[in-house]
Amino acid sequence: MHDTNQSAKPWAGRFNAPTDAFVEAFTASVDFDRRLYRYDIQGSIAHATMLARQGILTEAERDAIVAGLEQVRARIEAGEFEWSIPLEDVHMNIESALTQAIGDAGKKLHTGRSRNDQVATDVRLWLREEIDTIAGEIRRLQHALLDLAEREADTVLPGFTHLQVAQPITFGHHMMAWFEMLERDHDRLLDCRRRLNVMPLGAAALAGTTYPIDRAHTAALLGFDRPAENSLDAVSDRDFAIEFSADAAILMMHLSRFSEELILWSSAQFGFVELSDSFCTGSSIMPQKKNPDVPELVRGKSGRIFGHLIGLLTLMKAQPLAYNKDNQEDKEPLFDTVDNLKGSLKVYADMMAHVSCNHERMREAARQGFSTATDLADYLVRKGIPFRDAHEIVGKAVALGVREGRDLAELPLESLQQFSEAITDDVYAVLTLDGSVAARDHLGGTAPNQVRAAIARARQRLAD
């Protein structure tokens, strides 16, 4: 058991009355920040190692502290550690347990630091590792998309603008659009990680410390690129958490857009794709239902992540330098953002590996809505007709198709020729779906061979 009376609090010397019981529970953070224990211990071991190197601790004290912290970590991971609300947070719980285990040497661990720089360091260590995990999940999802795009490089479906049929595209091309969105997400997270990887430890409460510490050595031990330049900024900065949350919000916006398309495509009205039963649920009352719960839930979680970003911005917007208790409120939204982002990416990577396409439904849908109208206009331009005139000619042909209930490719040649004598029987080659997609044969185009080339470049990017 920890000693949890008022005298056990690190700041108790100035106070004559015990903390109100409700205030004690209200201000404690240990219920949620205990998840930082590994990073708190990691930072403490590096700090103690530096203090001994500088002669502030003896080597024996350092060894006792390191061994004691390892014992505390083992107890936590074995589920044998008793967390105490009166000790307020993960830092004091661990320090108290350490002191009980090794005696006065444990009380020396906090020399040259404050909980202000300690927590800022812990959160950066934790988030750095989480970013690496999230980046790995993005890559896993991208690999699933590449595999799907490769399988369906020739599969034709309608491309939409305004959710109206626009032009034929290939399903592989569509999946590569998702891939590119995720590639930007991956880049943003790595960029965030670079700015995050600066060490606050040694800034102490706000002004630094009078002890001859070596912050560069501690930073090297913890894998940081460098120590933070300014002690005031070091303890009060939460830009890294806000930047990560913004990146997470953009990523979740992308997943929400993916979800919307999957939900539409898997509906009876579209019938373009089939989601594996493993990622769907049924109805308690309607036995025929197969609900796309995974994409629906991911779409819903996007709003939750957006809210956390706004919450963190609001948390910081009126804070004076340096540390304020408000900053205790940064962790729960940040933790929740990470948990839900990782979960969404994981389930998407698993789900996309088992998506199947209904090729006939896609092709039939692409035949509707005059999706090759632009191809007819391009055909006329190649015959020497100015584009604006070609646009008007095709518009009239479409109007005829609407009246007769026939697609452009189904209109007889004489019907098309009433709008332009430039139209000859070779027009039907450009009015086919396969001809339409194949004609867009350039970098970034939807032609199947361009899709395969894009997949090959993407695989090389991931390999590099």
Q: pLDDT tens digit string along 386-404?
A: 999 999 999 999 999 999 9
Q: What is the pLDDT of residues 259-310, one digit of tens each?
A: 999 999 999 999 999 999 999 988 888 878 899 999 999 999 999 999 999 9
* pLDDT score at 27: 80
Domain with residue 44: its CATH number is 1.10.275.10
* pLDDT score at 285: 87
Same domain, 241 and 281: yes
Residue numbers annotated as active site: 162, 283
Same domain, 89 and 156: no
Q: Could you tell me the pTM of the whole model?
A: 0.92
Same domain, 239 and 276: yes
Same domain, 15 and 71: yes
Q: What is the pLDDT of residues 343-396, one digit of tens each?
A: 999 999 999 999 999 999 999 999 988 898 999 999 999 999 999 999 999 999
Strand partners, 226: 198
* Contact yes or no for 389/381 (Cβ under 8 A): no
The alpha carbon of 28 is separated from its chain's Cα centroid by a whole number of angstroms, namely: 29
Residue 462 lies in a domain: no
| Model confidence at 222: pLDDT above 60 | yes
Same domain, 172 and 278: yes
Same domain, 143 and 285: yes
Confidence of residue 1 (pLDDT cuts 50, 70, 90): very low
> For residue 7, what is the DSSP state?
G
Confidence of residue 22 (pLDDT cuts 50, 70, 90): confident
Percent of the chain predicted with pLDDT > 90: 88
Please compute the mean of the pLDDT values over residues 195-215 and round it to a whole number.
98
Same domain, 133 and 281: yes
End-of-domain residue from the set 328, 363, 398:
363
Q: What is the pLDDT of residues 152-180, one digit of tens each?
A: 999 999 999 999 999 999 999 999 999 99
End-of-domain residue from the set 50, 81, 111:
111
Residue 453 lies in a domain: no
Domain count for the chain: 3
Q: What is the pLDDT of residues 107-158, one digit of tens each?
A: 999 999 999 999 999 999 999 999 999 999 999 999 999 999 999 999 999 9
Same domain, 306 and 352: yes
| Model confidence at 19: pLDDT above 80 | no
* Contact yes or no for 430/378 (Cβ under 8 A): yes
Residue 243 lies in a domain: yes
- Domain range for 418: 373-431
Please compute the mean of the pLDDT values over residues 45-53 and round it to a whole number.
98
Same domain, 105 and 195: no
Q: How far, in Å, are 8, 87, 91, 119 from residue 100 at the CA level?
A: 11, 14, 14, 22
| Model confidence at 13: pLDDT above 70 | no
Same domain, 194 and 305: yes
* pLDDT score at 429: 87
Q: Report the relative pairing of strands 273-274 and 164-170 from DSSP bridges.
A: unpaired
Residue 441 lies in a domain: no
Q: Give yes or no for a cis peptide into 234 (omega within 30° of 0).
A: no
Confidence of residue 93 (pLDDT cuts 50, 70, 90): very high
Q: What is the Rg, in whole angstroms, of the alpha carbon atoms belonging to the chain?
A: 31
- CB neighbours (10 Å) of residue 45? 19
Residues belonging to the chain: 464
| Model confidence at 4: pLDDT above 60 | no
| Model confidence at 182: pLDDT above 80 | yes
Domain with residue 423: its CATH number is 1.10.40.30
One-character DSSP codes across 384-453 = T--HHHHHHHHHHHHHHHHHHT--GGGS-HHHHHTT-TT--TTHHHHHSHHHHHHH--STT---HHHHHH
Least confident interval from 76-90, 112-126, 400-414: 400-414
One-character DSSP codes across 243-286 = HHHHHHHHHHHHHHHHHHHHHHHTSTTT--EE--GGG-B--SS-
| Model confidence at 8: pLDDT above 70 | no
End-of-domain residue from the set 57, 87, 111:
111
